[in-house]
Amino acid sequence: MIWLKAGGGFTSNLSKAVRVARADTINMIGSCGQTGGIAWPCAYIDAHSRRLVQPDDVDIKEALRGTSIVPPKQQKPRMMMFNCHGCGRFISDRQRFENNCRNCGADNRP
């Protein structure tokens, strides 16, 4: 959201936004209406605004401490396993290409 500054420009910083007295609201609505803006009550904005934080400045473990939120653990990628064409034993992708099956000697290269 962008806010109207006192000088007539716009800002994304809520603390720099102009605060208009209730008596001057009609004049402000007139000037905001030309740019497509909408006048909101300060009490409403203050009640619903929250501070923005950059993700690099936050430690997730520290931020979630004291809450019941548990982030999911990242799973290790599983090694691809194949069955030997000759005997059916499990062999890895690496074993498929490096040498024949140690049990039956079958060539398992695709």
- The tens digit of pLDDT for each residue in 30-62 reads 655 566 667 777 778 878 877 777 888 888 888
Whether 76 has a pLDDT exceeding 70, the answer reads yes
Where does residue 36 fall: left (phi above 0), alpha (psi -120 to 50 degrees), or beta otherwise?
left
Structural contact between residues 66 and 88, judged by C-beta atoms closer than 8 angstroms: no
What is the structure's pLDDT at 33?
A: 55
More confident residue, 109 or 23: 109
Residues 54-81, mean pLDDT to the nearest whole number: 87
More confident residue, 72 or 24: 72
Is the pTM above the cut of 0.75? no
What is the structure's pLDDT at 89?
A: 92
Tell me the C-alpha distance between 108 and 94, whole Å.
11
